[in-house]
Amino acid sequence: MLIRLPSDIPASEITPPEIYRDRRRFMQGSIALLGGAALMPAGKSIAGAKLAGVRASAYRLDEEKTPYKDVTTYNNFYEFGTGKDDPAANAHTLRTRPWTVAVEGEVRKARTWDIDALMKLAPLEERVYRMRCVEGWSMVIPWVGFPLAELIRRAEPTGNAKFVEFLTLADPKQMPGVRSRVLDWPYTEGLRMDEAMHPLTLLAVGLYGEVLPNQNGAPIRLVVPWKYGFKSAKSIVKIRFVEKQPVTAWMAAAPSEYGFYSNVNPQVDHPRWSQARERRIGEFFKRDTLMFNGYGAQVAHLYRGMDLQKYF
């Protein structure tokens, strides 16, 4: 079964016990967040602090969650390097306070949000999502966040808003990878409006009941579980509503390999490897890749009538 109704178990109880025994993480966790508000001096990271008031969600997989250590040490975040362990090694330089997210473009209520106000825009939920990387590995992650649709409704898009574009921080002083030319910075991503409004689409501010670690896209990132992981823009600083389909970072870098839609589709191979199989982190054997990453019942209707070979 893909999803089940929420249980009464608090989000904090799913955190592996060994996390709390780690002295450094315990010291970080002693800095509490009340209702999503950060109680830290400006310019500091609050990664590892507990998130208060997180409620259970209906979006919970009946699958074993990927261990916290793997989720936070095996990442793609090119702003901190191209190696899978580079983000965990280098992202300590990221300052997540102060932080603002500008909402602009084809909206009636443009606004620049302080991150702490944005975290209180809607009740925070824990959602356990299956995530699939285009490179062939996957994880099951208990994200904490709120639906992107909540922010969109408050922005009141005009009739000209057909797409939502996301721009991320690109500061070479904080992000050593930005000094490279692997991508055209800043990192940009985009969704069609109906994709952005879908209830599965999440703005994540935490995982495993804690504030989002820097290497996982702190302080706020996009999570779109039926798409390949690179669609989930990290460290967002601007959300722009536009009429024309935006050119995303990976489309600009390799248009024959990375399409705008980027839906998980085992029938459409990457030009350099098959997408038919995947390896769940922590498992030895590969498993079959599921269409729309297993969320077809929820999202397939968004693409009815589209040629998914062409619109990949």
CATH fold label, 11-302: Sulfite Oxidase; Chain A, domain 2 (3.90.420)
Q: Which residues neighbour 292 within 8 Å (Cβ) at sequence distance 6 or greater?
A: 226, 263, 264, 265, 298, 299, 300
DSSP letter for 49, please. P
| Residue closest to 9 by CA, chosen among 65, 69, 67 | 65
Q: How far apart are CA 35 and CA 253, in angstroms?
A: 40
Q: Which residues of 176-207 are buried (b: 16+ CB within 10 A; e: fewer)?
A: ebbeeeebebbbbbbbbbebbbbebbbbbbbb
Q: Cβ–Cβ contacts within 10 Å for residue 44, how many?
A: 13
Structure tokens at 45: 């990271």
Closest CA to 59 of 10, 15, 2: 2
Q: Which structure tokens are listed for 256?
A: 């024959």
Query: In the chain, where are the structural domains located?
Result: 11-302
Contacts of 181 (CB under 8 A, 6+ apart): none
Burial of 52 (0-12, 13-18, 19+ CB in 10 A): middle
Residues 6+ apart with CB under 8 A from 116: 36, 37, 38
Q: CA distances (Å), 78 to each of 86, 101, 130, 173, 294, in order?
A: 8, 21, 22, 14, 27
pLDDT score of 274: 96
What pLDDT shows up at residue 187? 98
Res 45: pLDDT: 58
Which of 208, 224, 190 has the alpha carbon at shortest distance from 143? 208
CA 56/CA 310 separation, integer angstroms: 38
Provide the pLDDT for residue 157. Answer: 98
Q: Which of 66, 134, 103, 94 is nearest to 203 (CA)?
A: 103
Q: pLDDT per position in the chain (312 positions), as tens?
A: 344 433 333 333 333 433 333 434 433 333 333 343 333 333 455 777 999 999 989 888 889 999 999 999 999 999 999 999 999 999 999 999 999 999 999 999 999 999 999 999 999 999 999 999 999 999 999 999 999 999 999 999 999 999 999 999 999 999 999 999 999 999 999 999 999 999 999 999 999 999 999 999 999 999 999 999 999 999 999 999 999 999 999 999 999 999 999 999 999 999 999 999 999 999 999 999 999 999 999 999 999 999 999 999
Q: Are 126 and 56 in contact (CB under 8 A)?
A: yes
